Amino acid sequence: ADDRLDDLETIGRLGVAVCYNNEFPEVPRRLALAGAEVLALPVNWPLVDRPAGERAPETIQAMAAARSSRLATVIADRHGSERGVAWTGGTAIIDDDGWIAAAATGGAGPVVATLRLRHPGDKSLPPHNDLFRDRRPDLYT
């Protein structure tokens, strides 16, 4: 074992989904149910038309998934264009409330944010709801 690891503080459990996987709400939810506290999401999002001032639909989907599963999300996206494909440049850090804590300026550059994550078992949506305990999987079939 590497002795340097003995001094490191555990900051959370990491789940990984790749690009299109995040379009399916059950993927981040399943990772969160398995104990993930942060979702690493490497993506290649092609730029799509959208109304002026709106975020990319993939970013909105990631924000919703982060909120509905209380799963902070770190997105690493391509930017610019390559071989005729323009990329969204959606690199961002989303907190576990679903809000963007930091995003790439102009689609490029490093993105840094400090997040205070909830206790791993806290999936509350105050004041009266809990996103995991209130589930009714017995009714899903």
Q: Give how far the C-alpha of residue 19 lies from the chain's centroid of Cα atoms, to the nearest Å.
A: 11
8-state DSSP, 46: B
- Helix, strand, or coil here: 103? strand
Backbone angles phi, psi at 63, to 5 degrees: -65, -45
Which tens digits make up the pLDDT trace of 47-89? Answer: 999 999 899 999 999 999 999 999 999 999 999 999 999 999 9
User: Is residue 118 very low, low, confident or very high in pLDDT (cuts 50, 70, 90)?
Assistant: confident
Global pTM value: 0.84
* Nearest-angstrom CA–CA distance, 89 and 73: 16
